[in-house]
Amino acid sequence: MFQRISTILIWSEQYKQLADWYQDVFNLKVNEQLNHPQDTGILFDFPDGSPWLWIGQHDKIHGKNQEPLRIMFNINVDSVKEAYEYLKTKGVTFIATPFKAPTMEKWFCTFSDPDGNTVQIIGKE
């Protein structure tokens, strides 16, 4: 019945600026762009094809995220340390620099997008 997560949706008052940031930092390909009064945003493809990332405008969202740790999503990388060095060149604001998970052989690095949403990368050291 339930198959997989198809899309991560991030709503923003300044959706275009946030979408530009995600496209620049992660080199994402635009799949679709909508500019309809009731559905405005940009849909991005990750290189492996799933899930999609939607950055859109929502009339109930104003300012930065007031609870940035409530939801976060992970992006797989080959090397967390290499991705961390790359993200530093993009001026990313870090919450946690690369660290090894205490319960598994994975490394993580946590940071914020310009709206204060939490994003994490996961992979080998």
pLDDT digits (tens, 9 = 90+) for 92-105: 999 999 999 999 99
Q: What is the CATH number of the domain that holds 29?
A: 3.10.180.10
pLDDT above 90: residue 75:
yes
Question: Above pLDDT 70, what percent of the chain?
Answer: 100
Both 100 and 114 in a single domain?
A: yes
| pTM (2 d.p.) | 0.91
Q: Which stretches of the chain are DSSP H helices?
A: 15-26, 80-89
Both 40 and 58 in a single domain?
A: yes
Both 79 and 24 in a single domain?
A: no
Q: Which residue among 63, 92, 113 closes a domain?
A: 63
Both 55 and 14 in a single domain?
A: yes
Q: What is the average per-residue pLDDT within 34-61?
A: 89
Average model confidence (pLDDT) across the chain: 93
Both 75 and 94 in a single domain?
A: yes
DSSP H or E run through 77: strand 72-79
Both 113 and 69 in a single domain?
A: yes
Closest CA to 113 of 3, 4, 11: 11
| Domain coverage including residue 122 | 64-125
pLDDT at 3: 82
Both 98 and 48 in a single domain?
A: no
Both 85 and 101 in a single domain?
A: yes
pLDDT digits (tens, 9 = 90+) for 1-38: 888 889 999 999 999 999 999 999 999 999 999 888 77
Both 57 and 2 in a single domain?
A: yes
- pLDDT band, residue 123 (cuts 50/70/90): very high
Residue 122 CA to residue 101 CA, distance in Å, equals 10
pLDDT at 92: 96
Both 25 and 44 in a single domain?
A: yes
Instruction: Find how far residue 21's CA is from the centre of its chain.
Output: 10
pLDDT at 49: 75
